[in-house]
Structure 1
Amino acid sequence: MKLIYHGGLEINDRFVSIYNKEVEYNLPEKINIYDTTLRDGEQTPGVCFSIDEKLDIARKLDELGIPQIEAGFPIVSENEKKAVKTIANEGLNAKTICLTRTKREDIDAALDADVDGIITFMGASDLHIEVKLNKPREDIKKICMEAIEYGKDHGLFVAFSCEDATRTEIEKLLDLYKSAEEYHADRIHIADTTGSINPYAMQYLVRNIRKEIDTEIALHCHNDFGFAVANSIAGLFEGASAISTTVNGIGERAGNASLEELVMALKLLYNKDLGFKTEVIHDLSCMVSEYSGIPIPDSKAIVGNNVFRHESGIHVDAIIKNPLCYEPYLPEMIGTKRQIVLGKHSGKAAVEEKLDSMEIKVDNDKLLEIVRLVKQEREKGEEITNEKFDEILKKANVKH
């Protein structure tokens, strides 16, 4: 993307950071994103998508270019199975996968839903085995391998996930992953179920699993400490090549790795363009927010309302001349627009820009008067809406 701004300066992505472009990044040649907004995202307390809403989101994910959509958990209910089946038969470019326990009835439900593949999971930590499963570890491994075998025998893509993997001793993880590889699992998943690992530890974990495992490694990271995206990227540097995400980072507790944050960070900070149609991101984010009933925080990275809103006079003056003075990339990249907000910190440039948009010309003295009135009204607690700005113009005896 190239745009010309005042002064003839050509703007492109090299302005993100000169140092990002100079560093060599050892990332996988191909990175697979499997989005779980429709499964883990829907497990956010209070969220329940209708079939039509799930289909709308799936279509928008497909428009973005997501290669795999985790459409749901078919065994949960007949309606859930119907939703997954509807998506699977929609003719999307994305492959449709779903979650199953390591039980035949779950895998049969997935087969009934016409999916391309499954993620079958089992708790791997001592805590999960003792509290949830109460069976010998060898018996649990046998159940897992039988599930993998059953899925493969029925022509499915089969990913095997160790739940609570980041609180499981590495020897115990490797025992399960090596067996999964022997049973021809297509991918093994490291689930950071409680978001309890840090990026350096994730690198250590993935590095040591990669030494023993040739199968593709995926990461499913939760955001309890705010590290979900950082942990995902850290794992990519050590041999993982598939990442689980959700739109807006929704999901259980503090949510999952944010799709939009991961995609834009890889593209602009790590020089790894995954080929996504990023102009879709804003619409997708708004759709998920509307359907989930979860508002997007104004300060949310990438898609928050304040990311491209500017009030400070110094900032606005520079942005009018060249937006990248105070923006890391152009809002058009994610399908949104910049907003100049009038308020306490506004200066002449912001007010003049507003007046230009209304095709109003004033002299410098009148401009300064309008700026003073804008600050005065905002400090009274009044938001400077279009209507309020009209009132200010009347006070200043400016006709429009």
Structure 2
Amino acid sequence: MNDRFVSIYNNEVEYNLPEKINIYDTTLRDGEQTPGVCFSLDEKLEIAHKLDELGIPQIEAGFPIVSENERKSVKTIANEGLNANIICLTRTKQADIDAALDADVDGIITFMGLSDLHLKVKMNKPREEINEICMNAVDYGKDHGLFVAFSAEDATRTELPKLIEIYKLAQEHKADRIHIADTTGSINPYAMQYMVRNIRKELDVEIALHCHNDFGFAVSNSIAGLLEGASSVSTTVNGIGERAGNASLEELIMSLKLLYNKDLGFNTQVISELSKIVSKYSKIPVPDSKAIVGNNVFRHESGIHVDAIVKDPFTYEPFLPEMIGTKRQIVLGKHSGKAAIEEKLDSLNIKVDEQKLLEIVKLVKEEREKGFEITNDKFDEILVKANIN
């Protein structure tokens, strides 16, 4: 039943997506840069293991130069025997890369802010000198046997010719991947397509996307870039991260799988548990209306909806909750109808006639409109009022 359509039109369209798409998750690095978030080593290990169980091919485990504890955390994860490759973030500084080497990672993402604004405010050096610093870092990482990704921070606010210039240098210096960082979430999907398309024309190296969600476009921008030849995407669980967060791991995976017919082979049944773990340890509640993993996604009250869902869940659900390891919830309230009450009564092995059923429906609506949530205890009270023993 999970294979039934989400929309009949999705199957009518051919999507020009890369044959292989790599998701590198940065929950343990950019996710932890959410103000107020600080994962313990044990928490990081549990998250890393759950990401590995999901099937994430690359885990960005942290930023080793930040502190001695951070370096130890990254090193512990790198030596945990996970199937995922473990990478980390470094500035374009030898000390950062040495810290990464000491942490036993498989690779690094070395970055530099390259917009005119970043160079003026942060570096105050000519672009030619900055380009040389960046390539020295790429060379140093490659010379030490690391997978090296070069990331242009604030790429989406950097003039395209300047970006292409340094990306070409990175390719010449044998960088394994170049990253387009939408650092302030300031690009839209059409502009992202334009950008990736024109970079792809000039380069023959893997392109990755690191999108922030300031305008709510992080997942859309990621998919837009994939459609134009990017093949690697950065995500975080629950979309956590600086400011408005990053591209949501669960939204990207399920969108690709069900809306773009691109199944990346992930064990999606662990998504709900992974979301809960990250929410618990980050202390960031998942909004009830959050796509894919929000509590209300498979929670139904409206009588019209419940009546149809009992007969066929696909009437009001795009996919079955079991796909992400969760369950459907039927909620009793002012919008409830006979179908919801019948299902509740069936779960209690209680049979009533039509008249009594309608009486219970009426009592449920009245109690909810008085401000009472229809909990199991409240429903028991309603049954007593209706003389149901």
* TM bucket, shorter chain: over 0.9
Superposed displacement of residue 14, structure 1? 3.0
2:187 corresponding residue in structure 1: 197
1:94 corresponding residue in structure 2: 84
1:49 corresponding residue in structure 2: 39
Q: How does 1:341-360 map to 2 (within 5 A)?
A: 341-360=331-350
1:9 corresponding residue in structure 2: none
- Residue identity matched to 1:356: D
1:183 corresponding residue in structure 2: 173
Distance 1:58 1:384 in 2: 38
Match for residue 253 of structure 1 among 230, 243, 246: 243
Asked if the contact 1:13–1:268 (Cα under 8 Å) also holds between the matched residues in 2, the reply is no
Distance 2:123 2:373 in 1: 56
Distance 2:184 2:4 in 1: 37
Three-state SS of the structure 2 residue aligned to 1:72 is coil
Match for residue 278 of structure 2 among 269, 288, 298: 288
Which runs of 5 or more structure 2 residues have no equivalent in the other structure?
Answer: none
Q: How many residues are paired up?
A: 389
Match for residue 124 of structure 2 among 131, 134, 140: 134
1:121 corresponding residue in structure 2: 111
Distance 1:178 1:37 in 2: 29
Deviations 1:293-340 (A, max 9, x none): 000000000000000000000000000000000000000000000000
1:320 corresponding residue in structure 2: 310
Superposed displacement of residue 234, structure 1? 0.2
1:75 corresponding residue in structure 2: 65
Three-state SS of the structure 2 residue aligned to 1:141 is helix
Match for residue 375 of structure 2 among 377, 385, 388: 385
Residue 225 (structure 1) aligned with residue 215 (structure 2): yes
1:6 corresponding residue in structure 2: none
Superposed displacement of residue 22, structure 1? 1.4
Distance 1:262 1:43 in 2: 21
Distance 1:165 1:24 in 2: 29
2:25 corresponding residue in structure 1: 35
- TM-score normalised by structure 2 residue count: 1.00
Counting aligned pairs with the same residue, the percent is 83
Task: Quote the RMSD (CA, aligned, Å).
Answer: 0.5
Distance 2:218 2:86 in 1: 23
- Residue identity matched to 1:37: T
Match for residue 309 of structure 1 among 299, 321, 325: 299
Distance 2:52 2:142 in 1: 26
Distance 1:267 1:131 in 2: 42
Deviations 1:37-72 (A, max 9, x none): 000000000000000000000000000000000000
Distance 1:108 1:215 in 2: 25
Superposed displacement of residue 158, structure 1? 0.1
Deviations 1:167-192 (A, max 9, x none): 00001001110000000000000000
Distance 1:121 1:26 in 2: 29
Residue 158 (structure 1) aligned with residue 148 (structure 2): yes
Deviations 1:339-388 (A, max 9, x none): 00000000000001000001111111111111000000000010000010
Asked if the contact 1:199–1:234 (Cα under 8 Å) also holds between the matched residues in 2, the reply is yes
Residue 206 (structure 1) aligned with residue 196 (structure 2): yes
Three-state SS of the structure 1 residue aligned to 2:296 is coil
Asked if the contact 1:121–1:162 (Cα under 8 Å) also holds between the matched residues in 2, the reply is yes
Asked if the contact 1:14–1:21 (Cα under 8 Å) also holds between the matched residues in 2, the reply is no
Asked if the contact 1:118–1:158 (Cα under 8 Å) also holds between the matched residues in 2, the reply is yes
Q: How does 1:97-112 map to 2 (within 5 A)?
A: 97-112=87-102
2:325 corresponding residue in structure 1: 335
Superposed displacement of residue 392, structure 1? 0.5
- Residue identity matched to 1:299: S
- TM-score normalised by structure 1 residue count: 0.97
Three-state SS of the structure 2 residue aligned to 1:297 is coil
Moved over 6 A (4+): none
Deviations 1:249-271 (A, max 9, x none): 00000000000000000000000
Three-state SS of the structure 1 residue aligned to 2:202 is coil
Three-state SS of the structure 2 residue aligned to 1:234 is helix
